[in-house]
C-alpha cells in the first residue's frame, strides 16, 4: 500500500520533492522509494528532461489505474458514520422458511415501520437455491437453517434450536408418559421440502431397534401444524421458533425421547453486503428479534407435559453412544 501511495504521488506531481511534501516525508526518502518502485516495476517511471522529470510510457499507463486503486483503498479504510434508519430508502429481499417467519415477520415489520419507514421488505420463500440467489442479488439475506456452504457466502450463527414433538392437546404423547416405544408407534407426519420421509429421527430410532410409520410428508411447518391440529398425527418442530404459534392453534409440545442434532439458526449473505451500513442494520435487527423471540422454550415451560422417559420395555442391543447427541 505504501508503494502504491508513493507511486500515485510521484505520477501526479512528476516531482520527487513535491511528492515528498505531499506525503510528509523527506526528499531523500522519496528518492529511495522511487528507486524501489523502479526495481519492482522494471521501468524508470520518471526520467530527467532538463530540470524536470517526465513520465515514461509505462508511467502514463499506470497513472489512472494507480490513482483509482489508492482512492478505493482510502474509501475502504475511512470509517463510515452511523446510519440513520429514518433516512434509509431501499428494498430488502429476505428469504426465510415459514418456521422462522412465524417468529420474525410481525416484529420485524413493526420495527422497520417505526424506525425506517422508507424501507420495503420482500419476504421470499426458501425454495430459491441459496448461494446462487445471494450471489445474483435476488436475495439480500437468507434466514433459517443454512444448509449450504460456499466460499462466496458469509454465514453467521444466531442461535441454536432443538427439535420437539408437536401434537393435539389430547394426544396420548401429550397427556401420558413419553417413551421411545410409544413415540415410534405414533402416526408421524414428516416435514421435508424434498418429500423425504426419513431423517435424523429414524436414525436414532434404529439404534433402539425401532422404526416409525410416516403416513405423509409435507413441504413446510405451517401445513404440518394444521394437519396435526385435528388428528392423531404427530410432527417434529423447532422448539423456540414455534413457541407462539402452538397455543394459537391449540397444539401442545412434548419432548422427543431421543438425542437429536441441534438446529442451527443463522443468516447468510453475499460478502459484497458485509460492509454496507443498511444491510448491517437489517442483520443486527433480525438477530436481535430472533434471539429475543427464542428466550422461551415451549416444551420446557409446559408444566402439564410429562417428562420424556426412555423405553424400558425391552433391552436395546444398540445403545445410543454419547457422541450421537451432537452428531
Residue 99: its pLDDT value, please? 84
Residue 219 has pLDDT above 50, yes or no: yes
Q: Taking the mean position of all CA atoms in its chain, how far away is CA 155?
A: 4
Sign of the CA dihedral 174, 179, 181, 183? Answer: positive
- Contact criterion met (CB below 8 Å) for 225 and 237: yes
Query: Model confidence at 68, in pLDDT bands (50, 70, 90)?
Result: confident
Q: Average the pLDDT over each of 144-153, 175-184, 233-242 and give the range with the smallest value.
A: 144-153
- Report the mean per-residue pLDDT for the chain: 85
Residue 95 has pLDDT above 70, yes or no: yes
* Domains of the chain as residue ranges with CATH: 3-77 (1.10.10.10), 98-157+269-296 (no CATH), 163-261 (3.40.190.10)
Residue 294: its pLDDT value, please? 62
Residue 229 has pLDDT above 60, yes or no: yes
Residue 103: its pLDDT value, please? 87
Instruction: Return all residues near 169 (Cβ < 8 A) that are at least 6 apart.
Output: 250, 251, 252
CA dist 63 → 5, 54, 67, 206 (Å): 11, 13, 6, 69
Most confident range, picked from 242-246, 267-271, 301-305:
267-271
Q: How far apart are CA 229 and CA 159, in angstroms?
A: 28
Residue 146 has pLDDT above 60, yes or no: yes
Query: Model confidence at 130, in pLDDT bands (50, 70, 90)?
Result: low
Residue 128: its pLDDT value, please? 56
Residue 240 has pLDDT above 90, yes or no: no
| The CA-based dihedral angle spanning residues 219, 225, 228, 229, taken in that order and rounded to the nearest 10 degrees | -150
Higher pLDDT, 2 or 206: 206
Query: Model confidence at 296, in pLDDT bands (50, 70, 90)?
Result: low
Residue 217 has pLDDT above 90, yes or no: yes
Question: What pTM was estimated for this model as a whole?
Answer: 0.64
Q: How far apart are CA 60 and CA 67, in angstroms?
A: 11
| The CA-based dihedral angle spanning residues 27, 29, 30, 36, taken in that order and rounded to the nearest 10 degrees | 150
Residue 299 has pLDDT above 50, yes or no: yes
Q: How far apart are CA 11 and CA 60, in angstroms?
A: 8
Amino acid at each position: 500500500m505504501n508503494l502504491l501511495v508513493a507511486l500515485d504521488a510521484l505520477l501526479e506531481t512528476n516531482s520527487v520533492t513535491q511528492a515528498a511534501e505531499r506525503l510528509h516525508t523527506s526528499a531523500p526518502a522519496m528518492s529511495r522509494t522511487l528507486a524501489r518502485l523502479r526495481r519492482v516495476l522494471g521501468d524508470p517511471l520518471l526520467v530527467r528532461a532538463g530540470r524536470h522529470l517526465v513520465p515514461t510510457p509505462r508511467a502514463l499507463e499506470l497513472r489512472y489505474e494507480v490513482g483509482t486503486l489508492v482512492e478505493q483503498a482510502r474509501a475502504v479504510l475511512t470509517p463510515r458514520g452511523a446510519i440513520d434508519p429514518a433516512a434509509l430508502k431501499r428494498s430488502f429481499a429476505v428469504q426465510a422458511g415459514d418456521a422462522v417467519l412465524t417468529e420474525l415477520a410481525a416484529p420485524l415489520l413493526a420495527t422497520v415501520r417505526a424506525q425506517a419507514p422508507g424501507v420495503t421488505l420482500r419476504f421470499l420463500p426458501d425454495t430459491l437455491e441459496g448461494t446462487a440467489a445471494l450471489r445474483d442479488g435476488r436475495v439480500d439475506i437468507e434466514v433459517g437453517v443454512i444448509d449450504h456452504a460456499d466460499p462466496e457466502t458469509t454465514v453467521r450463527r444466531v442461535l441454536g434450536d432443538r427439535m420437539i414433538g408437536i401434537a393435539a392437546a389430547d394426544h396420548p404423547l401429550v397427556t401420558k408418559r413419553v417413551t421411545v416405544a410409544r413415540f415410534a408407534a405414533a402416526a408421524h407426519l414428516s416435514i421435508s421440502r424434498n418429500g423425504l420421509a426419513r431423517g435424523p429421527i429414524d436414525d436414532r430410532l434404529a439404534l433402539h431397534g425401532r422404526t416409525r410409520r410416516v403416513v405423509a410428508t409435507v413441504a413446510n411447518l405451517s401445513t404440518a401444524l394444521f394437519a396435526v391440529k385435528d388428528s392423531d398425527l404427530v410432527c417434529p418442530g423447532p422448539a423456540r421458533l414455534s413457541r407462539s404459534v402452538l397455543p394459537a392453534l391449540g397444539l401442545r409440545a412434548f419432548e422427543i425421547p431421543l438425542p437429536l442434532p441441534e438446529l442451527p439458526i443463522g443468516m447468510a449473505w453475499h460478502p459484497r453486503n458485509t460492509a454496507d451500513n443498511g444491510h448491517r442494520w437489517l442483520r443486527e435487527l433480525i438477530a436481535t428479534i430472533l434471539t429475543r423471540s427464542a428466550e422461551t422454550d415451549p416444551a420446557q415451560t409446559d408444566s402439564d407435559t410429562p417428562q420424556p422417559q426412555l423405553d424400558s420395555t425391552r433391552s436395546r442391543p444398540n445403545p445410543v453412544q454419547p457422541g450421537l447427541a451432537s452428531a
